[in-house]
Amino acid sequence: MDEKIFKQDAKQIVDLAFNEKLFKDDITRDDMNSFEELINFLLSSRYESYKRAEKLFGSLKKIK
């Protein structure tokens, strides 16, 4: 899976929340870049953890 997908998803989440005015009025879209980066990190790290766990479980099945 491409890293760009997580970045796009993070941007879409923040854009949606910003457009729906879920944030305070004085917060600009540019102010939300750090939040977008956090979402990107969470999505990509969860996916990487899933891939490592899947690889580990595959290795364990071969040992049995």
pLDDT of residue 20: 93
Phi/psi of residue 24, nearest 5 degrees: -60, 150
Cα–Cα dist 11/6, whole Å: 9
Angle 40-13-9 from CA coordinates, rounded to 5°:
50
**Digit-coded pLDDT (tens) for 1-21:** 778 999 999 999 999 999 999
**Digit-coded pLDDT (tens) for 12-62:** 999 999 999 998 989 998 999 999 999 999 999 999 999 999 999 998 888
Using a CB cutoff of 8 Å and minimum separation of 24, what contacts does 44-52 make?
Answer: 44/3, 44/6, 47/1, 47/6
- Cβ(43)–Cβ(14) below 8 Å: no
Cα–Cα dist 32/46, whole Å: 21
